[in-house]
Amino acid sequence: MTRNAITGHYLAEVARRGVGPAELTDATQRHLDLEATSYRGRTLPRPAFLDRAEVARLDEDLRNLQDALYALPHRLFGGDIGAFARAAGMNPDQVTAVLRGRGPAPTRMGRADIYHDGEHFRLMELNLGSALGGLDNAMVNPTFLTHPFFAEFVAEHGLAYVDTIEELVRTLLVESDVPAGQRPLVAAVDWPASFDGLEERLKASAAVMAPFGVDVVPCHLGMLEFHDGRVWLRGRPVDVVYRLFLIEDLLDPAGPGLVEPVLRAVERGEVRIFAPMDAELYGNKAALAMVADEANRHHFSPAQRASLDRLLPWTQVVRDGDVTVDGARVDLRGYAVAERENLILKPTLLHGGLGVVPGWETDAGEWLAHLDGAMTGHHVLQRRIRGVPELFPTADGLERRLLNWGVFTSSQGYAGAFVRGTTDLEDGIVNVAAGATLGCTFHEA
């Protein structure tokens, strides 16, 4: 059984017309250098499909989740954003950067990493900000459309896709308050230690953004100059600092000194920063645990509660004492030990899977050691999401792949999606570093 009717129709048509599973990927290879994209040289043999109701529900639920997150400082901390940041696990330098580098409002640019459990899309984590992977997803969609069969299928079923790069630029211009008609100079500012390895890819991304009305120049923090009331890059005044460095980079001993000139320039109104420094505050795992906590349900509207119930698995900040699980009060440590194979342990502020410990891949002794270590730091426990695999065509018939969806949001709401797929159905974690393959998406327009 397929997740929606569009997917079923597609698989049936592929079988009926004898379309080879490599035909779409071959078309992509002819029209696009995949090595220069997030796809790392290969793509899934078919797109993933969303019907109209799924897009509407994702849009609604992710808007409500963001609204609930952005209300946390007021609802739980009396409006004290510094207290919220400390509760989320940030150190003093990070708290200072958040307070000084905030924007007029939290960014709407984000990516939700989601599985489908057969009933609902369920969120594993939420990334908010400008340093998001997979933004170039829509580069693959038009290459699939060069195949006559697929172009015909898209037209017949009224399918479309969102260009996430276009939505990114739109959101940058809106949230950075760039005057209409102005073509701003945007410095895409990375961390010095990672810039050399990413420079060529950043240049390729800058070229993709240019047609939408911005001049983007990649650089690192040490390349910026500050004088004469402006921020300068290679002799040109910068209008927007596009932030590729992360709040966790401030853990580097040199971090606060590198970021300080940018913060001063933002405070003086000499430059805008996208996304502001508080983006990771609202997108961190501790914030998700706060909105998922059953004890906090009364702080949210009925619509928000309904979205949170659909989206969020049980998620709890690790601490000694009792917590609420499915309406009952239980000892957290005892619950975590008993439910090891159904739980995953995560640090609140790190990215890219760093420090993540799946209980189902850990023996009881190791799990207990990790759990005890987490009691002294900032970690969350999350209930395992059991994604339902989808069917993909192969030369030998159909095979099942577990999909992780990267669903983007912007100032306009739903901003496109891509998927990561793996044939390893037992692990339950889809990771490109472990061999997962990326794919594009089309939705019912």
Spacing of C-alpha 379 from chain mean position:
19
Spacing of C-alpha 400 from chain mean position:
24
Cβ 285 vs Cβ 315: under 8 Å: yes
Cα distances (Å, whole numbers) of residue 363 to 129, 355, 357, 358, 406:
36, 16, 11, 10, 30
Q: Is the pLDDT of residue 263 over 80?
A: yes
Residue type, 227: H
User: What does DSSP assign to residue 284?
Assistant: S
* Model confidence, pTM: 0.94
pLDDT-derived band at 41, boundaries 50, 70, 90: confident
- Each residue's pLDDT tens digit, 374-422: 987 689 999 999 999 999 999 888 999 999 999 999 999 999 999 999 9
Distance CA 368, CA 253 (A): 31
- Helical (H) or strand (E) element with 291: helix 285-292
Domains and CATH numbers, the chain: 317-383 (3.30.1490)
- Each residue's pLDDT tens digit, 161-201: 999 999 999 999 999 999 999 999 999 999 999 999 889 88
Question: What DSSP line would sit under 251-266, residue for residue?
Answer: GSTTHHHHHHHHHHHH
